[in-house]
Copies of this chain bind each other. A is one copy, B any other.
Amino acid sequence: MKFTVNRLAFISYLNDVQRAISSKVAIEVLKGIKLTLSADALKLTGSDVDITIETIISIGDDNAALQVEEEGSVILPANFFINIVKKLPEATLTLEVNERFQATITSGVSEFKINGLNPEDFPQLPEIDTDDQFILPADTLKQVISQTVVAVSNQEMRPILTGVHLVIRDQQLLAVATDSHRLSQRKISLANIGAHLAYDVIIPGRSLGELGKMLADDEEEVVIQISQNQVLFTFGHTSYYSRLLEGMYPDTEQLIPQTSNTDILFDAVEMLRSIERASLLSHAGHNNVVKLSLKVAEQKATLSGNSPEIGMVEEDLAFNSLTGNDLEISFNPDYMKDALRSFGKAEIKMSFTQPLRPFTLVPSEDGNDFVQLITPVRTF
């Protein structure tokens, strides 16, 4: 195996594949990156069993300027190899692998020899046994991911809640995540997919988080294929496989209140700043809780926090509209921060039923497609 490639282009491909590789994995070959060189392309594969990423540098890529001298394949220690490539002195590098899987990396005056592993020991790619697929623009998928993974549980006690529940039915995609303290739900219409397509799967939040970081903020097409226990996202030169979580996701539909007794409309960015201030105090104390008091007759909204040993904070909130019944409600400000950040710049409607019932945040324009729900904290 021998090839020459442009170093900077190669680094960008390597960085993509490295996302799948964890140095904590116990299996030696999975700490490695697999290189497979054919006459017309160099394939890079990395995997941590849950996630597998494959990306292809074709000889047609002018930036990469790949020159194939001899086909072959090898597994090289990922972090070490990538660090070497990053530090090499010249614009190109040549990599040659001998029959004992020792790789010689040459770039200008610099020559590294590093020990590789037999590529046959690398796990096989997951199988996607379906031709069905649907397509989302990269920026839309990236948005759905960032809006839902925020509410995914990071506790392994209920593994099912570490995933995002994806339901595709009637040409609509529904994505829901909840850690049982808060919930985030996003809907998208998929007018251009086959009406027969129906899926109900749970994708690990970590897989989606890493995928989100790789997706561009543009409308490049992402092709999504779902099989029994795997999902495959294909975009650009990259195939991104993730294992699915097994089990039944809880029924979250009935958790979202359909009516409200108090509503307040406000600017998400302004509110985020107020919550951040109040959380300085709640973080310093024992209880990470802030209190919101809404007085409709006086048209007054007050955010406050109190930790006797540390101090207290009180702030009058700016809002655009406040209607319904007076209310006092306490909640974890970190959940509120995550929720507000997921809206970006927008006017938000927060709707309450009772002080101890979950309340919702939706964009005030078009509140059907995106809902954040937060469960309050009992403080008495």
Binding site for B on A (CB under 8 A): 77, 80, 83-84, 87-89, 102, 109-115, 273-274, 276-277, 280-281, 284, 309-318
Q: Is the interface of A mostly helix, strand, loop or mixed?
A: mixed
Q: Are B114 and A311 in contact (CB under 8 A)?
A: yes
Q: Are A115 and B310 in contact (CB under 8 A)?
A: yes
A207 to chain B, nearest CB (A): 29
Q: Can you spell out 7 A-B residue pairs with CB atoms less than 8 angstroms apart? A: A89-B277, A109-B315, A109-B318, A110-B274, A111-B314, A115-B309, A115-B310
Contact residues in B for A102 (Cβ distance below 8 Å) = 311
Question: With A and B bound together, what is the CA distance between A110 and B315 in angstroms?
Answer: 4
Contact residues in B for A110 (Cβ distance below 8 Å) = 274, 277, 313-315
Question: With A and B bound together, what is the CA distance between A102 and B276 in angstroms?
Answer: 22
Question: With A and B bound together, what is the CA distance between A66 and B271 in angstroms?
Answer: 29
A283 to chain B, nearest CB (A): 9
Given A87-B273, A273-B87, A276-B87, decide whether A311 and B281 contact each other with a Cβ distance below 8 A: no
Q: How many copies does the complex hold?
A: 2
Q: Are B280 and A310 in contact (CB under 8 A)?
A: no
Question: With A and B bound together, what is the CA distance between A109 and B274 in angstroms?
Answer: 9
Contact residues in B for A312 (Cβ distance below 8 Å) = 112-113
Contact residues in B for A281 (Cβ distance below 8 Å) = 112
Q: Are A284 and B80 in contact (CB under 8 A)?
A: yes
10 other A-B residue contacts (CB within 8 Å) besides A111-B314, A112-B311, A112-B313: A87-B273, A87-B276, A87-B277, A89-B277, A109-B316, A110-B277, A113-B313, A114-B310, A114-B311, A115-B311
Question: With A and B bound together, what is the CA distance between A311 and B84 in angstroms?
Answer: 12
Q: Are A111 and B313 in contact (CB under 8 A)?
A: yes
Given A273-B87, A273-B89, A310-B80, decide whether A111 and B280 contact each other with a Cβ distance below 8 A: no
A317 to chain B, nearest CB (A): 8
Question: With A and B bound together, what is the CA distance between A111 and B87 in angstroms?
Answer: 52
Contact residues in B for A87 (Cβ distance below 8 Å) = 273, 276-277, 280
Q: Which of B83, B276, B316, B318 contacts A280 (CB 8 A)?
A: B83
Question: With A and B bound together, what is the CA distance between A87 and B280 in angstroms?
Answer: 9
Q: Are A280 and B115 in contact (CB under 8 A)?
A: no
Question: With A and B bound together, what is the CA distance between A115 and B318 in angstroms?
Answer: 27
Contact residues in B for A310 (Cβ distance below 8 Å) = 77, 80, 114-115
Most central of A80, A102, A276 by chain B CB within 10 Å: A80
